[in-house]
Amino acid sequence: LLALNVRAREVITTPLSFVATAASVVHAGGTPTFADISDRDYNLDPQEVAGKVLRGTAAVLPVDLYGHPARFDELAESAGDKVKMIEDAAEAHGAMYRGRKAGSLGHVGCFSFYSTKNMTVGGDGGMVTTNDKRVADDIRKLRDCGRVSRYEHDVFGFTSRLNTANAAFGRVQLKHLDEWNERRREIAAQYHRRLRGLARVVLPPMGDQEVRPAFYVFAIRCEDRDALARHLGDNGIESAVHFPPIHLQPVFREAYGFSPGEYPKAEAAAEHMLSIPMFPGLTAPQVDFVSDKIIEFYGGRR
């Protein structure tokens, strides 16, 4: 964001993501604004973005939520040629959109290597991808104290270097990413076979010829979400909520005056999404056990 000079300008992003997506806009000196999501994939809705773009809009920041790539071609068309596209691919390592890998869909792509992600670095870390040499050079400086040479600094930078031990860990993990992602897709397909048609549950999209998700999580949209989470927990099954809406976080409400009801699709989804177990080491009997307990909770009604 700093390398793309969004200072004092507006950046449009999704309210359904981890808070860091929008907080990064604030840290870069920009103003975060939101557009609602599509119920089709829970990502930014291109039509909603089209209605939000103003003369001062610097960038659109879509999120590949749950490992499912956003509709970048439609979003770029909605935003227009003068607006930069910054891809939050933190949950989409190895996902594909129209023959392109996540992280290559915008002017800049951003990955997280946090310990829950599809590949990690044994601690906190991340990566920025771009094919713009000027942006790449600026980001290299910004992450390294604004350094031009050892003791010369021409911008106010940060200490955001990934240390070599973490990087080495990540390089080994990267060799297994395709294999692990394929296992995630197999697990997702098994969940779909077991839970398809279950009353009061909507399963995540499996992808098609254009989109190949990476299934960072397997998030179901369900009625009585919190009661289902308790039922799963009582049976030794962990689940999680991804994510409460960003615009309703206390800090964003206080700073920008957001209020409930502004982004109804995102708010409705946030009330009903539950992430059930998803990781490459999950066995077929374990997937069946989780599925059985969900079916049990809903009385097997289809």
- Both structure tokens of 242: 């991804």
Q: Whole-angstrom Cα distance, residue 25 to residue 33?
A: 9
Q: CB of 118 within 8 A of CB of 94?
A: yes
Whether residue 300 has pLDDT greater than 80: no
Question: For residue 123, is it within any domain?
Answer: yes
CB atoms within 10 A of CB 175: 9
CATH code, domain with 47 = 3.40.640.10
The pLDDT tens digits of the residues spanning 171-192 come to 999 999 999 999 999 999 999 9
CA 75 to chain centre: 16
Whether residue 302 has pLDDT greater than 70: no
CATH code, domain with 212 = 3.90.1150.10
Domain of residue 15 covers 10-165
Domain check: are 102 and 187 in the same one? no
CA 245 to chain centre: 13
- Both structure tokens of 224: 């009585």
Q: How many residues does the chain have?
A: 302
pLDDT value at residue 301? 62
Domain check: are 160 and 22 in the same one? yes
Classify 187 as helix, strand or coil: helix
Average pLDDT of the residues in 93-110: 98
Q: Whole-angstrom Cα distance, residue 237 to residue 184?
A: 18
Question: Pick from 165, 194, 225: which residue ends a domain?
Answer: 165
Q: Whole-angstrom Cα distance, residue 250 to residue 299?
A: 38
Whether residue 289 has pLDDT greater than 70: yes
Q: CB of 65 within 8 A of CB of 16?
A: yes
pLDDT value at residue 286? 98
Question: Pick from 104, 137, 165: which residue ends a domain?
Answer: 165
The pLDDT tens digits of the residues spanning 113-163 come to 999 999 999 999 999 999 999 999 999 999 999 999 999 999 999 999 999
Write down the pTM of the prediction: 0.96
Q: At 139, which amino acid appears?
A: I
Higher pLDDT, 55 or 260: 260
Maximum Cα–Cα distance across the chain = 68
Question: For residue 171, is it within any domain?
Answer: no
What residues pair up with 44 in beta bridges, in sequence order?
37
What is the tally of structural domains in the chain? 2
pLDDT value at residue 170? 97
Sign of the CA dihedral running 195, 196, 202, 205: positive
Q: Where are the alpha helices (DSSP H) in the chain?
A: 20-27, 46-50, 72-79, 133-143, 164-195, 225-234, 250-256, 264-272, 284-297
Q: Whole-angstrom Cα distance, residue 267 to residue 275?
A: 16
pLDDT value at residue 290? 98
pLDDT value at residue 185? 98
What residues pair up with 91 in beta bridges, in sequence order?
none
Domain check: are 133 and 212 in the same one? no
Question: For residue 82, is it within any domain?
Answer: yes
